Structure 1
Amino acid sequence: MTDILAPGAVERHLRARRDTGRGLLMPYVTGGIAPGWTRYLEAFAEAGADAIEVGLPFSDPTLDGATIQQASETALARGASTRRILADLAEGRDPGVPLVASTYYNLVLHDGPEAFCAALRRAGVGGLIVPDLPVHEADELADAAAAAGIDLALLASPATPQPRLAEISRRSRGFVYAVSLMGTTGERAALAASAAELTARIRRGTDRPVLLGFGISTPDQAREARRHADGVVVGAAVMRRVLDGAGPDDLRDFLATLRQALDQE
């Protein structure tokens, strides 16, 4: 692995790319979704991803919509587990961009925050998203993540009060994950109107990179999101294609269209 594994490297990497004027792209893949699934990581990087989110599937994904739920169920049915996914990452080819794991707090608690974060680190993961962990309960995991050199990124939604938003912006590491709307993940016909206001509120309190997610599915939506945020997270649109049988080459082509849209803004 390269220096993308140095402590705090996710944020440094994203800041450096953002500061060149580049729109940031972080696609998502559910770990263990298919045989040889780590090849998707290579394809994502080749398409111009700046970081890659790897979902550790959980049986009760409360914030995920139908597509990510189906992907999690498919991966679990194939025997995917946190240990197997991290082993695949450790054995796979370095994609050359930071990997950010995402999962629910139950899986963190299963091994304990210290052991969980240490395992991420050994597998070459540099960041972590835990969507059901509120900031006022994040102290233990935040300390364990910092000790392991893992950037714990926190989520902010349109309903987050300004004092809480300021705390999230201050304590988040790597980036702030801006949830574009109140609801679950999934493809949508248009970018939520609440996205612009939320990202503006976040930016008032931090210069940390802000990535906008939940519902970004098309090049036009990515281009619009870039007007407000530093970049986008694309999950359901990727996983729907995987579930429909798309291979790494197909996903490379799809993400290249988003990369081009972000570069045009």
Structure 2
Amino acid sequence: MTTRIEARFARLKEEARPALVTFVMAGDPDHETALKIVQALPGAGADLIELGMPFSDPMADGPAIQKAGLRALKAGESLKKTLSLVRAFREGDGETPIILMGYFNPIYIYGVDAFVADALAAGVDGLIVVDLPPEMDDELCLPALDAGLNFIRLATPTTDDKRLPAVLKNTSGFVYYVSITGITGAAAPDAGKVASAVKRIKRHTDLPVCVGFGVRSAEQAAEIGRGADGVVVGSALVSAIEASLQPGGTPAVEAVTDIVARLAEGVRTSRLAKA
């Protein structure tokens, strides 16, 4: 059975363009506003949506996403409410892939079997769990795959050719290449190095390779999109949500969709620029 993620990348391949993958935190700045933001993302140009699962100890995230998670937790977001957000989104959109991204602890507390069943029923398509290495695939990866969820793994600049087969073994949907060493939003990626890394990964897999960490502008998105199957943007969006909370700030939904529209234009022109 083809998943929404696989179907979306097949369509984008026909259109000869990379995907724009957007990340926002569930429940940020509150549950209702977060739902409106997620509902608005496809219309603004997002091809796939990564939805953060708030967690109190997000070790791989930079300050912007850490603060987004804390805002969400303070507003009462939980994993159960995050799944209800996905269900509400699915009432109006049956095609845009939704990927839950975060850490294993909330899933472990929820119960792996219950979580996988409830995520599938809610309309979740894939999982990115950043603190579960391949050596722990029995914990969540294999049950998720058996249920029909894609399990997306991260590859980094330090993932060498010896390690890469283990990383890719049970990966499905796409490979998420972390373009810089360090936390999210810490630095801008080097498009040339990213393109070389994507080519190296593609020698080991037929899966699409999406690139994230550090992409903030349409120009960067266009540069990265020339050598990748998708461009992931997160910190820029959650920073816009934070700014919307300041006196006189642009409303959160509008602030996010304005950025996404510009990024989408960059992604959609990336291959034209290459030609």
Given the two structures, how large is their TM-score scaled by the length of structure 1? Answer: 0.92
**Among candidates 88, 91, 94, match of residue 88 of structure 2:** 91
Aligned pairs for 1:112-127 within 5 A: 112-127=111-126
How far does the alpha carbon of each residue in 1:46-79 deviate from its partner, in whole angstroms, 9 at most, with x for none? Answer: 0121110000100000000000000001000011
Q: Equivalent residue for 2:63?
A: 66
Q: Secondary structure at the match of 1:33?
A: coil
Unaligned runs of 5+ in 2: 245-250, 271-275
- 8 Å CA contact 1:131–1:155 kept in 2: the answer is yes
Distance 1:194 1:104 in 2: 28
- 8 Å CA contact 1:98–1:126 kept in 2: the answer is yes
Distance 1:128 1:186 in 2: 21
Q: Equivalent residue for 1:148?
A: 147
Q: Does 1:28 align with 2:23?
A: yes
Distance 1:202 1:19 in 2: 22
Q: Equivalent residue for 1:260?
A: 265
- 8 Å CA contact 1:15–1:208 kept in 2: the answer is no
**CA 1:150 to 1:190, structure 2 compared with 1: closer, same or farther past 3 Å?**
closer
Given the two structures, how large is their TM-score scaled by the length of structure 2? Answer: 0.89
Q: Equivalent residue for 1:3?
A: none
- 8 Å CA contact 1:181–1:194 kept in 2: the answer is no
How far does the alpha carbon of each residue in 1:192-249 deviate from its partner, in whole angstroms, 9 at most, with x for none? Answer: 6642332121111112111100111111111111122111110000000011114222
Displacement after TM superposition at 1:187 (Å): 5.5
- 8 Å CA contact 2:53–2:101 kept in 1: the answer is yes
Q: Equivalent residue for 2:212?
A: 213
- 8 Å CA contact 2:191–2:223 kept in 1: the answer is no
Q: Does 1:249 align with 2:254?
A: yes
- 8 Å CA contact 2:120–2:149 kept in 1: the answer is yes
Q: Does 1:232 align with 2:227?
A: no
Task: Tell me whether 59-68 or 17-26 shows the greater mean CA deviation.
Answer: 17-26
- 8 Å CA contact 1:31–1:57 kept in 2: the answer is yes
Aligned residues: percent identity? 36
- 8 Å CA contact 2:25–2:51 kept in 1: the answer is yes
Q: Does 1:56 align with 2:56?
A: no
Count of aligned pairs between the two proteins: 260
Unaligned runs of 5+ in 1: 1-5
**Among candidates 73, 76, 83, match of residue 76 of structure 1:** 73
Displacement after TM superposition at 1:119 (Å): 1.6
Distance 1:251 1:18 in 2: 26
Q: Equivalent residue for 1:111?
A: 110
- 8 Å CA contact 2:185–2:213 kept in 1: the answer is yes
Q: Equivalent residue for 2:248?
A: none
- 8 Å CA contact 1:31–1:75 kept in 2: the answer is yes
Q: Equivalent residue for 2:183?
A: 184
Distance 2:174 2:44 in 1: 21
